Every structure is written in structure tokens, then in C-alpha cells.
Structure 1
Amino acid sequence: MAKSIIKKFKSRQIRRLLKIPDDELAPYYAYYLGEITIDDLTDMQQEKLTRYSKIWSQYLMGRTQPMILGAIMKEHDVELRQAQYDLSFAIRLHGPIDQVNKDGRRVASREFFDLLAQLAMKDKQYQVAVMARDKADHLAGLHKEEKEGFDPEDFAKPPKIVYNIQVNHNYSSSDETIELDE
């Protein structure tokens, strides 16, 4: 579903909506959205894309930044400052890992508790199955209260009313009169 939403927009529109400046990452966004192929990138851009992908994969595996920087410097024969730039560009290109990691762990835990509940039901351990299912439902967000109706906090503040009245006082000719219905 998210892929169909992304395909609805062009990379330029997405960058504008997300307030991402036009910079050297623009061809990589276009490549990931499928607007251009790998052959449309220059040799230098292909090399950088390879570096960004390697940095991102190491970052996802949980490697520390000094480990990633050392590996990139050794493997691609770049200086420390260039490796730091590549690391920051890879993070900007692929997004922050913290929220992605948290969401991924939540989904994995939910699936684990679902599996545990099924195994407990198979072994006729109903109490364990109910507890596991409850934890899975909690991780899925099924126990969150949905707020419906009005919030009393919204009515605690007095409204601010702004009157904007435009009156045309241009009575240049004296022949024109305005008749008022009374």
C-alpha cells in the first residue's frame, strides 16, 4: 500500500513535500523511486551509491560508526572526512534507523507472541496462550483507546474572533447615490 502511495508522486514532489533540498542526493532518490535506471547514473554516482548501500547495510547490522568509517576508508581508499560525509548522506538518503528499528522489533515481537500463542493452544496450555495473545494484541495497538467526541480542553480557551471588514469609500462622483432599503 505504501508503495502505491509513493508511486503516485514524482521524486521532485516528494522532496518538496518532505522539504528535502535539491542536492547531490536527487539522482539517488530518483533511482530508488524507479524513475531512472542504474545506467542513467554516472560512474562516480554508481560508486557513491555502492558506498551508501554498504554503509547503510553495516548501519542496519548494528555496527558502530567508527567501525563503519574504518571499513569504508579501508575498502574504498577515502579519507576520514569523506567517509563521514558518506555516512551522513547514507543516513539522509535512507532515513533514520531508530524509528525503523523500533517498528521492526515491535512487529517481530508481535509475530513471536502470535506464534507462542498458537503453540500454547496446540499443547492445550490455554492460560499461556491467552497471555501471549494479549501481549501480541497490545503490541499491535489493539488496546489503545480511540478518542471520539469532543475534548473539554478545546472549550477551555476563549475563541479569538477576528473581524475583517473592507469598506469601499471611493465616492468620486457625486451623481452616484446609494439607496438603502429601509
Structure 2
Amino acid sequence: MGQTQSTPLSLLLANFRDVRARGHNLSLDIRKRKLITYCRSEWPTFGVNWPTEGTFCLPVVLKVKSKIFLPGKEGHSDQIPYILVWQDLVENLPPWMATSLIAESCQILAAKPVNPPKPPTPTAPPVLPDNQDLLSFDPPPYQVPPLIPQAAPIPAAPAEPPVAQPIGELENREA
């Protein structure tokens, strides 16, 4: 009978009670399906060399954690409990994980294309020549803004109380 090869994810799933208990000790709720989804589908897309079978390599775990904890829409707050539990398992090994960690190396391999694509050659000449240092030129002269003449202040009229006319004079004036 052949043995199946253990992967970090399969090891966590086989011991999921302990994984969930570790999360509970950290006040985190861990679900098996979400752990599988994040490990196989989400974390490999972060561009930090996370393999789909998971890893116990702490530098890779910390790179995924840094992507998850990015602020705003770039971050993935729903994945925080899962990477925190994964990190805690790597940093504080349970007995069932110690043997597999020794077997796994933390070597990160990246694929390199055999024939890398060549950058496209520009068809038009560059707008600015590369051999001129534009910072060595003096800036263009600035136009001096026209002076706005100041209006002379208007002298304040002396305050005189209004003169009241008797009512009789007003009645004669209307007639």
C-alpha cells in the first residue's frame, strides 16, 4: 500500500480540531472550507511564492500576512484569522507538526521563462533626447504681474444730525 505525501495543508486538515482550538485560544474563529480556499486559491495569487499545498516556511507566511494586512481595499481583512493561526502554528509547533517541518525545506523556487519576451522597440523617436540634462537649463522668464493702482481712500463725511422740520412747514409745502 502506497502512502500519500503529506502537505502542510493536508496536515492542518488532518489535525483540524487542534487548529480550530489554537484559533479559539487566540479568540479567532477558523472554518475548514475557508482555510482550504485561502490556502489553495487566494494566497498563491499574492505573488509571494505561496504554494497551493501550503507551507510552513515562516518568511513566506509573513509575506502573505503583510499582503493580508494592507490598509483599505488592498488588504484582505476576512483572511486575518487564518494567517494568524497559520503563523502561530509555525512559530509554536504542536507535537503533530514537528516531524513534517524537519522534512520540509524552506527553499523558495521561482519559475524563470526559457525565452523571456523582448520589450517592444519604439517606432517613434523619443520626445526628449536622453543626452540632455534638462535640469541644467534656466527656467523661462516669468511675466511680472501688472500693478493694480490703489484707490484713494474716501474721506468720511462729518456726522451731523438731521435737521427736523416742523410739521406746519411740511403741510404748506404740499399745497
**Where on the TM-score scale, by shorter chain, does this alignment land: which range?**
under 0.3
Structure of greater Rg: 2
Under a length normalisation based on structure 1, what TM-score does the superposition of the two structures give? Answer: 0.24
Under a length normalisation based on structure 2, what TM-score does the superposition of the two structures give? Answer: 0.25
Higher relative contact order (CA 8 A, sep 6+): 2
